[in-house]
Structure 1
Amino acid sequence: MPDAFETMEALIEEISKHNYHYYTLDEPTISDAEWDALYAKLLQLEAETGVVLPHSPTTRVGGELLKGFEEHRHLARLWSLDKAQNHDDLMAWHTRAQKLVNEYNAQNPDQPLPPLSFVIELKFDGLTLNLTYDHGELVHAATRGSGMVGEGILAQVKTIKSIPLKIPYHEGIIEVQGEGIMNLSVLDAYNKTAAEPLKNARNAAAGALRNLNPKVTAERKLNAFFYNIGYSDMIQFETHQEMTSFLRENKFKVSPYLKFLDHIEAVEEELQNVVSMRNTFDFLIDGLVVKITDMRTREVLGYTDKFPRWAVAYKFEAEEAVTTLLGVNWNVGRTGKVTPTARVEAVDIAGVTVQNCTLNNVDDIERKNLKHALGSLVYIRRSNDVIPEILGKVTEEADGEEIVPPAVCPACGSALEVKGAHLFCTNRLDCRPQLVGRITHFASRDAMDIDTFSEKTAEQLYDELSVRDPADLYGLTFDDLIKLDRFGTKKAEKLLAAFEKSKACDLASFLFALGIPNTGKTTTKVLADHFGSLDKLMQAEPEELVALHDIGDIVAESIAGFFRDPAMQRSIERLLASGVQPRAEEKLAAASENNPFYGKTVVLTGTLSTMGREDCAKKLERLGAKVTGSVSKKTDILIAGESAGSKLTKAQELGIRIIDNEEELLQLLGEA
């Protein structure tokens, strides 16, 4: 038996080597018949021994139909990218980065950052992949999801033959990020024999990777390119070049186009060159990505709430087409805003069939000469994944039927109010789309994060159980839910458990869930951090609010007005009475105490057995600590779990305080 295992390992290594040359390097090393013979021998040995090693190429064919997607929490966040669509946007990004570098260098003359240099990468149009390798073995694969939590798709990813199941790097855990794609030539070949041809390569790849039958994924013959190490507990890189070399050395398929440049002017010139090449690639790209190459500079520049400051996506110009405007629908949103949506004769733009287009408001209709355009030809534009918009009429004549704005709310028949360029329904208490939208928003991931809840659920609860306010959700019982269509015992119990779990929430998320007009996630966090309690915020006057960061007169009046509204006050009172407990008070109380983490810069490394690193980071931040990703002279404390690597070594060299005992950590966190 040991001999059989050794033979299997040798066969796997040889087949993987040939796969790498064929699928990653596009340089076949043996004939198909020779490859088939090696594969058949491996299959025979696996059948004889009853053992299939986890990195065997035979696991790529797709196994049993899966029951569902498991939630997967990433070890490091996957960030979105800020966008630049022209010269001014690109230069504004560069100016901001250069200013931060100059400020840092002025404060740290002994360790200045190097002059800015850049890398340009292709922005693939597929599905983002995050792969986890543990001591060289592929152990997890997930979609991007929220950036913190994605869906586990390991079985599907294993069918992509250009992705290594085992890599030479065996020192620890790494997360590798890339894009799953379908080559255009593969799409063409697939559609020649497919019963249902696929519309475009992007949707084909995304649909295949999110299909519960891995055999379907395998049939699509997907590919993947990789461009980033998002997390590593043992290895660090000084430059993007080093990281790219690491990816290549570990058999990952790297973009065929990478350009390293020293000046932003050269970057802009090269961007224009690549724009003219966009249709020469055998895969879809929807833009380019510009990144600063030096890793220490990236660490210093850091992140906003949504984006890294050291990278920007340069988006291609939108594509346009001509079609006929058939009609306009008026839709009511959760804030009562009544927005027009244009229905157009179906037209194909870059493989996507467009039938609906954005029209922002009545002023937008008149400005674009669309007042008398029903039945007329119009220009439409689709920019990447954004909903297409109408640019204007093809002719200047008023040769079509008139677009007539509604006189009353199209959903409930109530009076409409004009605010600026927009129409609003005044019936906030009994307008179905407003209430359904408000409840759906309340339950969403960035708000109360009520698992399994959807807009369809909100509509069903509104129609069949008279749920009119978010507070009504917490009064629902098992007997209420079980009588609903498509609600079995398991689904009802799961939703009730999600309601109960959501009661313990942080104040910023609770405020966002309330749907305060003119406020987003960033603003609600500013409010939570400043006031520290719901009561204090509800009593705040506009003059106090306007003094806060990024809150102007309009937003301040909007916030104060929201909390003065008797209907909103009643809703909040009912939510609190049902057991919802926003917990900002605890955060500020903990942070104000004399604890060892208050005001300290803390780095986490290794694996914590008693809690996840993300959970630990949140607890540290509640205690007033600043949690960063890398060790420097500014680091005060390193928390080292199992398998701590280079960060621990660097902390030891710098004489930084190290906490490597989890019992001690729990005591310091006040949880022992």
Structure 2
Amino acid sequence: MDSMPKMEELIAELNRYNYHYYTLDEPVVSDKEYDALYDQLVALEQESGVVLPDSPTQRVGGEILKGFTPHRHLAPLWSLDKAQNPEQLRSWNARAVKLMNDYNTKNPDTPLPPLGYALELKFDGLTLNLTYTDGKLVQASTRGSGIVGEGILAQVKTIKSVPLQIPFTNGTIEVQGEGIMNLSVLAKYNEMAAEPLKNARNAAAGALRNLNPKVTAERKLSAFFYNVGYTDGIRFANHQEMMNFLRENYFKVNPYVTYFDEFDDVMEQLAEIEAGRSKLDYLIDGAVVKITDMRTREVLGYTDKFPRWSVAYKFEAEETTTVLKAVIWNVGRTGKVTPLAKVEPVELAGVTVQNCTLNNAGDIERKNLKFALGSRVFIRRSNDVIPEILGKVTEEKDGEEIIFPDHCPACGFPLVQRGAHLFCDNKLGCKPQIVARISHFASRDAMDIETFSDKTAIQLHDGLEVRESADLYTLKFDQLMKLERFGEKKANNLLEAIEKSKEKDLASFLYALGIPNTGKATTRMLADHFRDLHKIMDATAEELIELPDVGGIVAESIVAFFADPFTRAAIDKMLSLGVQAKAPAEPAIVKTDSFFSGKTVVLTGTLHQLTRDEAASRLQALGANVTGSVSKKTDLVIAGEKAGSKLAKAKQLGIDTIESEDEFLKLLSGEQGV
């Protein structure tokens, strides 16, 4: 029996499913159904001894290669000129405008159209150049010198978003894109890897330039495509046509491609991209601006190195290298002892970095940092948080050893290891734990004791032997006056603020207690559900786990926290001293006929005339469902000042936006708008 027709049928079906899953992110069959068809194909290939060129079974990686073969590109892969700041970007545009005007002056009968711009993300991976002949993928290579690259066809075939066959069968084309490793894929890989990968860029480049394609396949790479460099028998009028061609031929095109007629709009959108880059699941190091009209590109041409019709706008680096100088160990309010790395000062993302997080002792081992003191390390900073050390630049144990403590660096109590973390269990006698718990209790989102600070907590601990948050409610004026820099006014202000805090609601009190594994959203939900402190204290894990967003770990944390006699005694003491932990007010009647009724609304950016919480409360009272992230289910995004990626995503998805705070306030007040 001829198995070829069945094999061709299975290959077509499996490749279609791959396209929907890996390129469109829209799976159309279950994994089980896909696997059954895949197994059929494998069996037929083994039985017949034939493997067709576009078979998905080739994506698992074949034999180890002896070396890379050179590939001469059919058209040059140009580098891009770089703009480091807005002034340089405007200078690039001014030159392009001048060249266009000069041409139009000399050619009045065939003028170029007004400039239009495409704005794309600049991916931080490895450039790929794919060659297709009569619809078949026949070669893939690195950029190399731009004229000659290295053939990596076997490696690229393991990328499941790369089509092995395309509908365009009229000759040869070369398509350029970027091979990447998604950050979520990198994190998952590192959870299981004996040797964790340092960062996504190196992981992708290392996989694609590995002579063993099976290693490439294990990295589960992806790729985005953005250019057709060489074509037989097809021309495009503009960039939009070329991108549509790529989509129609099953290439994965990043959804963040935007088009503008005005250059000022390009500048504004660049700020949006930079603000939201830390929320992407892949690395970018900038954005690329391209003039869209193809005839204009031909007229503007190239310098010796760069096209004049395109420029890369570079963002501040989020990754760099520096020297690890020392590791110190800090104790937090839960007793967790965490390492903090002191590094040689280095500029990164616009700030001077001197400290980096190391997470825990297990992290040091996992990242091959145990012998890294004095060695050069990779660091990454994102989302305005303290930078993280990703790993050593070299694999050798060429540095001094980081010594893990066995006793608390603050109080000398023996440490215990739970999971990857070290803990000091001396919570009644360890100063950093006590001070951190009291500072958290008094913080704005908790009991909101005005004028209180970490320095105040230290003074109260050292001078008045305040050992727990409940002790705050026993403080007297004469005691405070004994403290350094405490005058009459400061003492009275603090006592008034402490007295006022007794009126805080139940949710704030629960958050102030610092229950492990709970945040503001969880404590608010507990308060709204139980509406009584003692009911929460007596709740079982079975009761708690039935609540929204409460899993087994959180439920057990809450139960264990309130089962502690020290916690119970402290709460009883505070209640006896007048702390009310008031139940939340009864839910207000929600309007069903307002502009916001039934809408899913996202707030982003800074509002000046009311807080984010106030805005959310008023929206909910008007019947809106307020959520934290933008999706296809979002009806409206309200953007304050410095709104970033959420506003950009809303515009990309065509979601209605309100970008005027005055307009928003009018709608809240019931005045007609939008």
TM-score normalised by L of structure 2: 0.49
Q: For the pair shown, which has the larger CA radius of gyration, 1 or 2?
A: 2
> TM-score under structure 1 normalisation?
0.49
